């Protein structure tokens, strides 16, 4: 088995950044992953960056239009850019400059407030969305532990077949690591065990329960496939599970092509 793709997601629920390598920090988290996020105003003051559930953030599970954006964050220059739909000019600036952060927030809120059926449009959450995060610490994962996520291309292919599709984009699952060479769904049996990827050892903590975010096509921003129903009704899972969460036992770097083995 080997690594065939690597991803970071600098801004929670915004598009992935494909990588040739990812670094695992001393705290076990992927460097540059989920280091920024747009959180609803009623979640608390902006200086409170303690972990909160994804329902408090602009999230694909309730706002599919987020998939229409493109974005990037450069950790060295500390500059963030986001290109909104139908715009050739991105909004961008330094996350260390209060004026730049405020301008990015304002443009993002102007766009988000025009969307229908969002939590704010349905009066379940309050705007404005606040840009949170220092660009260094990954604080905005779906779980407080901030674990690395992994799936196999074989499981992805089997899910596509069950959904009567020729292929399915792995970007909708927002994993950090995609591997190849496993049997379909084999990775789900590794929970409680240990694996090694390159020079890094991981404990496999749990499977990942999926939500409505996986129903969104990352290319069209439309809910097109009942992924959760396919996993339960067709594949036969008790709960919709795809990918595993793994906890690093040592820091290091993972590269495309690294070997994956059970230990």
Structural domains in the chain, sorted by start: 2-29+143-262 (2.40.33.20), 37-132 (no CATH)
Q: Over 90: is that where the pLDDT of 86 sits? A: no
**Residue 145: half-sphere exposure toward Cβ, Cα within 13 Å:** 11
Q: What is residue 79's predicted lDDT score, i.e. its pLDDT?
A: 96
Q: Over 90: is that where the pLDDT of 131 sits? A: yes
Q: 90-106: per-residue pLDDT in tens?
A: 999 999 999 999 999 99
173-180: average pLDDT: 98
Residue 20 is encoded by which pair of tokens?
A: 């040739």
CB atoms within 10 A of CB 192: 9
102-129: average pLDDT: 97
Q: What pTM was estimated for this model as a whole?
A: 0.96
- Name the E strands within 52-101: 70-74, 79-83, 91-94
H runs (alpha helix) in the chain? 98-112, 153-162, 227-229
Q: What is residue 101's predicted lDDT score, i.e. its pLDDT?
A: 96
Q: Over 90: is that where the pLDDT of 222 sits? A: yes
Q: 155-172: per-residue pLDDT in tens?
A: 999 999 999 999 999 999
């Amino acid at each position: 088995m080997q690594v065939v793709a690597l991803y970071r997601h600098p801004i929670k629920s915004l598009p992935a950044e494909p990588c040739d390598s990812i670094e695992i920090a001393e705290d076990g988290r992927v460097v540059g992953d989920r280091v920024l996020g747009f959180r609803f105003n009623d979640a608390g003051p902006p200086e409170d960056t303690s972990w909160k559930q994804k329902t408090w953030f602009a999230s694909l599970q309730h706002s599919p239009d987020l998939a229409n954006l493109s974005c990037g964050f450069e950790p060295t220059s500390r500059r963030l850019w986001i290109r909104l739909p139908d715009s050739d000019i991105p909004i961008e600036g330094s996350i260390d400059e209060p004026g730049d952060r405020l301008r990015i927030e304002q443009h993002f809120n102007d766009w988000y407030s025009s969307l229908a059926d969002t939590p704010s449009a349905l009066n379940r959450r309050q705007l404005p969305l606040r840009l949170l995060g220092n660009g260094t610490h990954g604080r905005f994962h779906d779980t407080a532990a901030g674990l690395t996520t992994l799936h196999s291309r074989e499981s992805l292919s089997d899910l596509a077949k069950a959904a009567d599709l020729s292929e399915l984009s792995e970007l909708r699952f927002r994993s950090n690591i995609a591997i190849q060479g496993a049997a379909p769904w084999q990775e789900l049996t590794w929970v409680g065990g240990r694996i090694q990827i390159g020079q890094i050892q991981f404990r496999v903590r749990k499977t990942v329960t999926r939500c409505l975010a996986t129903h969104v096509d990352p290319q069209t921003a439309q809910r097109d496939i009942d992924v959760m129903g396919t996993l339960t009704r067709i594949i036969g899972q008790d709960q919709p599970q795809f990918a595993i969460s793994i906890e690093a036992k040592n820091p290091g770097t993972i590269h495309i092509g690294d070997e994956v083995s059970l230990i």
